[in-house]
Structure 1
Amino acid sequence: MLYEIRRYQTLPGLRSEWVQYMENVIIPLHIAADVTVVATFTDLDDDDGFVWIRAFPDEYARKAAYRAIYESDHWRTNVSPRVREFLVKDSTTMMSVQSTAKSPLDRHLIGAEPV
């Protein structure tokens, strides 16, 4: 499995609204594109930090999901402009990782429903 660990910095005081937007808009959009959302987190050491992890079976599935989400008219017209209202520009960090052969997380996700 391929995983993406993404960390966002929200504009000061907007993290709670961002979490609601993620849960009500962005995550359902990802699930509709067959992306497994593994977990979401708020940063205990940073009042404006947010982290989430997404999983893909392989690179082909990741690229297909990117196309389905980020190239859609809905994303470009409705979602992306709102995202820019919440996040500090150029503050997003992402780590792409591949699980090891005996990763407990992979065993946990196989057959599991997405968040």
Structure 2
Amino acid sequence: MIVELRRYTLRAGRRDELIDLFDREFVETQEELGMAVLGQFRDLDRPDQFVWLRGFADMPSRRTALTAFYTGPVWAKHGPAANDTMLDFDNVLLLREIVAVPVLDRGTR
């Protein structure tokens, strides 16, 4: 799996506005296109930060899904409002497993 760790710096007082828009318009749309929204986080010490994780099966599916989302009708309609809440949206780390995570049988210790 490929995971994006995304950190946005927001305009003062606009985090809840972005989160409401994100939850309402972007989560299901991305999941329908094969992306996994893995989590969203408020940085309690920095009210101008929004952090979230997005997953993809692999790099080719990432490219396909991102292209479909950012050229699609939902982003065309709601993307400008989302971008208006942000000062910086380029803080993205692209992560991948370096060692496979072991899957344990629940019947064993």
TM-score, normalised via structure 1 length = 0.81
Secondary structure of the corresponding residue to residue 83 of structure 2:
helix
Match of 1:18 in 2: 18
Once the 2 structures are TM-superposed, how far is the Cα of residue 91 of structure 1 from its aligned partner? Answer: 4.7
CA distance in 2, matches of 1:84, 1:54: 18
Return the letter of the residue paired with 2:99.
A
Contact 1:5/1:95 (CA < 8 Å) preserved in 2?
A: yes
Higher percent of residues as strand = 2
Correspondence for 2:6: 6
Structure with the higher fraction of residues in helix conformation: 1
2-side partners of 1:20 and 1:44: how far apart? 17
The one-letter code matched in structure 2 to 1:100 is I
Aligned residue in 1 for 2:80: 81
**Counterpart-to-counterpart distance in 2, 1:21 and 1:49:** 15
Preserved contact between residue 5 and residue 94 of structure 2 (Cα < 8 Å): yes
Q: In structure 1, what residue type is equivalent to 2:9? A: Q
Residue matched to 1:27: 27
1:20-53 deviations in Å (ceiling 9; x for gaps): 1111111122111110111110012201100000
Identity %: 27
Could you tell me how far 1:11 is from its partner in structure 2? 0.9
Q: Check if 1:97 corresponds to 2:91.
A: no
Q: Tell me, yes or no, if the aligned pair for 1:2 and 1:56 is still in contact at 8 Å.
A: yes
Where do 5+ consecutive residues of structure 1 fail to align?
Answer: 108-115
- Which consecutive aligned stretches of 4+ in structure 1 deviate over 6 angstroms post-superposition? none
Aligned residue for 2:16, secondary structure, equals helix
1:92 aligned counterpart, secondary structure: strand
